[in-house]
Structure 1
């Protein structure tokens, strides 16, 4: 049987990929903005620019983006070193462009501040200081023989005014990019915190299940001896001469023996689920036979016609019987029968590669509190101490198999429990024993 447990990537591992994706988006914006700036300066302002080195830098930025996309395509986490290298390339490309367009006299030299802020947010402290050192080195290098811009006559009269206009455009560009960047980072942090909270909640639930499993296994061991004693005593009573002649007592003893045997089967299933049954091969069956057996077991102790089974599953599928899944489905049917003893409906259908199992009843339905806190332990409508574990176990068993469970109230009255399960989670593989 395949392991269909959902293995989610840790939120910390996903952070590097999110940050790299954010850098890629910002770099595409930078490439587009620089192309627009070159077009405006050359076409509208008639300022002669050294196009080959400026366009070469843009080609390098595009190549960096393509390499970054390849890193994301690997499917593994992006490291701090890779993020640092990407930012260092950005610093080098900006320094190259400024060197060929006036050096420090270019008002867009302030864009180095954007690289420093991005590094401080995304990188480790040591790497952030490395970006600061790289920008300082770039600023120092820009003082060494930069290529001056040849301004037309109308701009040469007031070069400071042109510089101030360029500084204003640079300020607006930095402000817009920083707001967009910080907003996206804040959203990423909120999503990460939500994922961490969900992971902690899931870990707490799984720890709760482990403790319950240990208690159930211990109880199953302790129940084995008294159940065996009851079975022997019932057998002795059946063979006693005084009882053997009483047909009514024989009938009662048969019912008692059936109940004891069912209890022994339940205890055996608990031990098997806990891995304590030795030398027993996995039980191979089909999806239809698996569900039919659960329904028939529920019908055995109820009035005829009270359990309705609608088989809409379609072509049958070979599976390996999962004792835990069988038990939680049976628990849901037992709960439905308690509030609706005259009728419960079970419907099996298929939605693509998913098996859909619906259990309905004609009881009072779920309260608003139950619907809101569905799947949490000790949330029960029966008011019994320690109740409410059936749906909690259902949610966790189905989730371990890669599926999900939900509850709702029927329009016609009563409750509905819906289980959606990937068939591949319990499908029989070629290597399974037969």
Structure 2
């Protein structure tokens, strides 16, 4: 099961917050050497520990709840938490004079990416209000040297820019990859749906055609039976009459097979691959009486149920018609090898003009090879053998 985009977003935000916590710890640790006293260190460390504990709780909640409807760990709640956390941290360390206040801007950018329009604008408004508040209300940093304060401010701005650039690229690229993966999955699902609808329409058309052809075939069969029982029917044509009745019966079997395949719901128990292949080859022989087809089917194929659509059958039919062009007898051997159905045709003159068969097999997930006057067709077998 694919991870949803909301789950991935909240996971990325929790991971990103660990980087924020690391930045808070680093800022608190260097405050002593930068400012020359340890007055601000205790309150910064204490607040950072609180944020780390809360993020640990969010991480635990995200692993216990896999749904997308948990408000506590939603992207909207987490981004508000991030903006508020950094605002409080900056309040304890100089307010708007602290260059770390620029970290609010990447958070607003992340909100514009993962939130809807209304919440993104609301997050931006909250950030502006907090920035305005920190401009006037904050705990000042004890820096007496103005030149040193200016240098530290510029250095802090540079560091914040570097960190914001790296983190923004990481977050945006990861979310972009997630979006591309989701779009690819949606496109694949849409293509599968269209293919299923196409196969269903083909099946309906095949069943309708089989039903319409059944009546004239039955009429022809009755007419042939009357001729066979007629004592005045010329004896010289009785062999032809028997052949016609045989061919009509094979046509009826082919139509019954086609109608059964078309009307069979997906997921129902089907006969084995050996039975399916035997019926298919008999039907093909009935429609190609001038060709001589001899085939063997390995007993191992009795253990697998067929999971092939009409594309696989079309590929096999085109392959047989191509091999029958030489006019010689056709020899076919079907077996299972390396998790695939392998069908081999012997003594085939050439492997040219097989593009339609290759295209049909590609749609069914199979392959086609021609070597040493042998054509081999490979179709993947279902995962588990039938009992």
TM-score band, normalised by the shorter chain?
0.7 to 0.9
Q: How does 1:174-185 map to 2 (within 5 A)?
A: 174-185=164-175
Matched, 1:346 2:334: yes
TM-aligned CA distance change 1:312 to 1:298, over 3 Å = farther
Q: Structure 1-normalised TM-score?
A: 0.70
Match of 2:327 in 1: none
Q: 1:251 to 1:368 in 2, by over 3 A?
A: closer
Helix, strand or coil at the partner of 1:340: helix
SS of equivalent to 2:342: strand
Instruction: Map Cα deviations across residues 137-163 of structure 1 (whole Å, 9 max, x no partner).
Output: 332443575344445x8x776111111
Confirm or deny that 1:253 pairs with 2:241.
yes
Distance 2:30 2:101 in 1: 18
Aligned twin of 1:334: 317
* Structure 1 SS opposite 2:138: coil
Equivalent position of 1:27 in the other structure: 17
Gaps of 5+ in 1: 1-7, 376-390, 396-403, 429-434
Deviation, 1:110, is 0.6
- SS of equivalent residue, structure 1 residue 343: strand
Gaps of 5+ in 2: 325-329
In the TM superposition, what is the alpha-carbon distance from 1:168 to its structure 2 partner? 0.5
Moved more, 183-192 or 111-120: 183-192
| 8 Å contact kept, 1:87–1:119 | yes
Secondary structure of residue in 2 paired with 1:241: coil
Of 212, 217, 220, which residue of structure 2 is paired with 1:222?
212
Partner residue, 2:225: 235
What does residue 130 of structure 1 align with? 122
Q: CA deviation at 1:349?
A: 4.3
Tell which structure's C-alpha radius of gyration is larger.
2
Task: Identify the residue that residue 112 of structure 1 maps to in structure 2.
Answer: 104
Residue 130 (structure 1) shift: 1.7
State the distance in 1 between where 2:56 and 2:351 align: 59
Structure 1 residue 276 displacement after superposition:
9.2
Other structure's SS at 1:158 match: helix
Aligned to 1:68: 62
Q: CA deviation at 1:220?
A: 1.9
- 2:74 counterpart of 1:82: yes
Residues 91-100 or 20-29, more deviating: 20-29
Select which of 416, 422, 429 maps to 2:382.
422
- Distance change in 2, residues 1:349/1:119 (3 Å): same
CA RMSD of aligned residues (A): 4.0
**CA 1:417–1:102 in structure 2 vs 1: closer, same or farther (change >3 Å)?**
farther
1:374 aligned residue (359, 362, 376): 359
Alpha-carbon spacing, 1:331–1:32, altered in 2? closer, same or farther (3 Å) = same
**2:92–2:139 CA contact under 8 A, matched in 1:** yes
- What does 1:391-430 align with in structure 2 at a 5 Å threshold? 391=361, 395=363, 405-412=365-372, 415-423=375-383
CA displacement, residues 244-301 of structure 1 (integer Å, 9 cap, x when unaligned): 855xx44443332232222223323344444499xxxx77655655556556766787
Query: 1:158 — aligned with what?
Result: 148
Question: Does the aligned pair in 2 maintain the 1:406–1:419 contact within 8 Å?
Answer: yes
Equivalences for residues 202-351 of structure 1 within 5 A: 202-243=192-233, 245-246=235-236, 249-275=237-263, 285-286=271-272, 303=292, 306-312=294-300, 316=303, 325=308, 330-341=313-324, 342-349=330-337, 351=339
Pair 1:149–1:15, CA change in 2 (3 A): same
Structure with the larger RCO, 1 or 2 (CA within 8 Å, 6+ apart):
1
Measured after TM superposition, the shift of residue 84 of structure 1 is 1.1
1:142 matched to 2:102? The reply is no
TM-aligned CA deviation for residue 233 of structure 1: 1.7
Q: TM-score, normalised to structure 2's length?
A: 0.77
